[in-house]
Structure 1
Amino acid sequence: ILAGIFGEAMLTPYYLALISLAYQGPYLETLSLAASFVTITSLFILFADLIPKRLAMSAPEQVALRVVAPMQICITLFKPAVWFFNGVSDRAMSLLGLPGQRSDDITSEDIHAIVEAGTQAGVLHESEQQVIGNVFDLESRLVSSAMTTRESIVYLTLQDSEAELRRQLGQHSHSKFLVCDDVIDRMAGYVDAKDLLLRIINDEPLTLAGAPWIKPVLTIPDTLTLSELLAQFRDRREDFAIVLNEYALVVGVITLNDVMNTVMGDLVGGNQQQIVKRDDNSWLIDGFAPVEDVMHALDIAHFPDDENYETIAGFMMYMLRKMPKLTDAVSHAGYKFEVVDIDNHRIDQLLVTRVQ
């Protein structure tokens, strides 16, 4: 302000003399004053704003070391004035019923924005941005979005013969197997495949009835989030759990590896991809693909009432309000979701096309 007052007073006579050489009209003083104002403002922006910022950005450590002492002196000298004006402004804000202090809490949305800015600037790769986003999604994603569903569970029973156990071990390369008493909902525990393989190598009898190597299995409700599941895995020192619904029926199996695959996303490749991009405008999607994964793949902001379902098949059933049939379709967010394969009333595959 002082620079503007004194600068304009000093420069206006010179501009007055200069402009009077070409113009002698009634607006001579106004034009001289405007020219002085523009000159002072331009010099202030250049030397008090742009150049200091450029210097600080090009050599931040050196500039910081040089200005820290003067800044501390200024802070000490003007501390009473700052305290006084802060008190006055806080009092005025309270009288107006407005908050005097803003919240400095950092939210997940703030971090998402920072990560997105870093990706756009080239500091982060898109895959790294996806991993960071997936980590925050663990707080909202339920275990049902990452588990192996009931019909896909491979389990052993206490009644299985040695030949049946050998066949199951040969056909499925799982590290752990759920053990049940005749039916899947009567769980007896789980076994490590390596314990069974050691007995086979040592030519020992292979049976599960009364076997001491059957371990207690961790059971969790299907309302648990993936973040809460990780906490239980850590506390129990387990990496294998059975998911139960409110009727105590088994709805799925989930492992630590399933959670890690959810976090890593496309960086780790499973045996089967749930979302396959055919071209720029079409995708083949497994019916059990979690809605969150579909949102990431198709860049869809949200699905309607997504608290009522976890998978893209659930989305179709919710929107159609019936058991879907072949060629049934739903349009949402500029995409057409069409049922192309059904297996025993279960939506096995969807064809998703971008609506032009």
Structure 2
Amino acid sequence: MPKLRRNKWCPETALAAQALELFKASGVHVAMVVDEYGGITGLLTLNDLLEEIIGDLDQDEPDVILREDGSWLVDGVLSIHRLEETLPDLELPEAESGNYATLSGFIMMRLGRVPAVADHFEWGGFRFEVIDMDRNRIDKVLVQQLNEAGEKPETASPSDQKGE
């Protein structure tokens, strides 16, 4: 049975060096972030912190894959900035009070809950569909640009292409 540990707390005003020292001194890799009133405002991991300092650590697979049909298979933790670079026609709502920084955060904000596989919605001329979940984390999202009528563009089937 795994051994439980006490939470480590990190003030949201802490500098990166201070948070790194907290992880180093405590030997844990996760800390709860608290505001000046003692409310929990987030979760900080050692991996997140190191990625902010030295860049992305996990480059095993691409975070955006352009598919043959013109849709994109996107990693749920893709940053909003990178998503907007990838899909220049997409206009996302301003992050309400910084409520989201990733595609997963945007999806959860729109749905108002943690999604399930196959949950989908349309926004700004695009269709977002959750393809894969890792427990409560959105792993993969299918993003399709809709045509002017608000429908998914028709793609030719292989049998249609043989007649050309």
- Are the equivalent residues in 2 in contact too, given 1:185–1:250 (CA < 8 A)? no
Q: In the alignment, residue 292 of structure 1 is paired with which amino acid?
A: H
Among 227, 239, 244, which residue is 2:32 paired with?
Answer: 244
Cα 1:248/1:294, change in 2 over 3 Å: closer
- Are the equivalent residues in 2 in contact too, given 1:313–1:347 (CA < 8 A)? yes
Structure 2 match to 1:316: 107
Structure 1 match to 2:5: 183
Q: In the alignment, residue 274 of structure 1 is paired with which amino acid?
A: D
- Taking the TM superposition and a 5 Å limit, the aligned residue runs for 1:280-291 are 281-291=70-80
Q: In the alignment, residue 32 of structure 2 is paired with which amino acid?
A: L
Q: In the alignment, residue 304 of structure 1 is paired with which amino acid?
A: P
In angstroms, what is the RMSD of aligned CA positions?
3.5
Q: Which has the higher contact order (CA 8 A, sep 6+)?
A: 2
Among 51, 62, 67, which residue is 1:273 paired with?
Answer: 62
Give the distance between the partners of 1:286 and 1:339, measured in 2 at CA.
10
Give the distance between the partners of 2:91 and 2:103, measured in 1 at CA.
12
Higher helix share: 1
Q: Does 1:261 align with 2:55?
A: yes
- Taking the TM superposition and a 5 Å limit, the aligned residue runs for 1:84-163 are none
Secondary structure of 2:86's aligned partner: helix
Could you tell me how far 1:337 is from its partner in structure 2?
0.8
Cα 1:311/1:182, change in 2 over 3 Å: same
Q: In the alignment, residue 312 of structure 1 is paired with which amino acid?
A: L
- Are the equivalent residues in 1 in contact too, given 2:117–2:131 (CA < 8 A)? yes
Give the distance between the partners of 2:21 and 2:90, measured in 1 at CA.
32
Give the distance between the partners of 1:324 and 1:301, measured in 2 at CA.
21
Secondary structure of 2:85's aligned partner: helix
Structure 1 match to 2:158: none
Cα 1:293/1:325, change in 2 over 3 Å: same
Q: Does 1:343 align with 2:134?
A: yes
TM-score by length of 1: 0.31
Q: In the alignment, residue 309 of structure 1 is paired with which amino acid?
A: Y
What is the aligned length? Answer: 131
Could you tell me how far 1:220 is from its partner in structure 2?
5.5
Secondary structure of 1:338's aligned partner: strand
- Are the equivalent residues in 2 in contact too, given 1:275–1:283 (CA < 8 A)? yes
- Are the equivalent residues in 1 in contact too, given 2:8–2:32 (CA < 8 A)? no
> Which runs of 5 or more structure 2 residues have no equivalent in the other structure?
24-29, 35-39, 148-164
Q: In the alignment, residue 314 of structure 1 is paired with which amino acid?
A: G
Structure 1 match to 2:119: 328
- Are the equivalent residues in 2 in contact too, given 1:184–1:250 (CA < 8 A)? no
Show CA shifts across 1:316-338 (max 9, x none): 11112233222221222322111
Q: Which one has a bigger Cα radius of gyration?
A: 1
Could you tell me how far 1:345 is from its partner in structure 2?
3.3
Cα 1:325/1:299, change in 2 over 3 Å: same
Give the distance between the partners of 1:330 and 1:248, measured in 2 at CA.
27
Q: Identity rate of aligned residues, in percent? A: 24
> Which runs of 5 or more structure 1 residues have no equivalent in the other structure?
1-159, 161-180, 188-218, 263-267
Give the distance between the partners of 1:331 and 1:285, measured in 2 at CA.
16
- Are the equivalent residues in 2 in contact too, given 1:220–1:243 (CA < 8 A)? no
- Are the equivalent residues in 2 in contact too, given 1:317–1:323 (CA < 8 A)? yes
TM-score by length of 2: 0.60
Show CA shifts across 1:11-49 (max 9, x none): xxxxxxxxxxxxxxxxxxxxxxxxxxxxxxxxxxxxxxx
Could you tell me how far 1:239 is from its partner in structure 2?
8.9
- Are the equivalent residues in 2 in contact too, given 1:288–1:311 (CA < 8 A)? yes
- Are the equivalent residues in 1 in contact too, given 2:71–2:143 (CA < 8 A)? yes
Give the distance between the partners of 2:50 and 2:138, measured in 1 at CA.
27
